[in-house]
Amino acid sequence: MIDLAASKTEWSNSIKLRRVLWTWGLEPLVRWLPKPCSPVRVMALRLMGASVGPHCLLMPGIKVLMPWNLHLEDHVAIGRGVDIYNFALVEIRRQTVVSQDTHLCTGSHDFSQPSMPLVYSPIRIGSGSWVAAGVFVCPGVSVADGVVVGARSVVSKSLDIPWSVYAGNPCVRIKDRTMARKDTP
């Protein structure tokens, strides 16, 4: 029998205080600033413990649950309306784009337990990758370097083959990702 009343996730007072400061204080001030204010969003996330490399672009409307569980390397672009639901670490490596309305979800519930407790696992996205618009990435997923994930895909398992194109629900490998020569228009 399901007993949601028994489901209790214990957070330290420090985490609770940081969540209040972020969710009700700083995040509402910076979330909807226009695109040129990306450096202000970066500064706010760093102030709350995020690791954000140089030359990152963070578009308006981004939601980050726990900034201290966010690691962005250099030249990462995060599109409008991306939801980073990060009870666990979300790591995005260099030269990667996460397009608008994508949901990176590190948390779920253990539905095999009567209290359905919160469970969470990190998400890692490799360098040179592109997660297209509206993708849902599940807890514990890793995306290899150079991977393209097609729009509206559901990524429930790690995408292990580098420089590949994946798409669909469930997300499957479609083909190799080949790059045009630099001098080709």
- Give 96-144 pLDDT, tens digit per residue: 999 999 999 999 999 999 999 999 999 999 999 999 999 999 999 999 9
Tell me: pLDDT of 185 over 70: no
Confidence of residue 182 (pLDDT cuts 50, 70, 90): confident
pLDDT at 3 (0 to 100): 92
Confidence of residue 7 (pLDDT cuts 50, 70, 90): confident
Which CA distances in Å does 112 have to 3, 107, 115?
12, 15, 9
β-strands 63-64, 142-143 pairing: unpaired
Q: Is 104:118 a contact under the CB 8 Å cutoff?
A: no
Domains along the sequence of the chain with CATH = 12-173 (2.160.10.10)
Q: Is 74:53 a contact under the CB 8 Å cutoff?
A: yes
- With pLDDT > 70 as the criterion, what percentage of the chain qualifies? 99
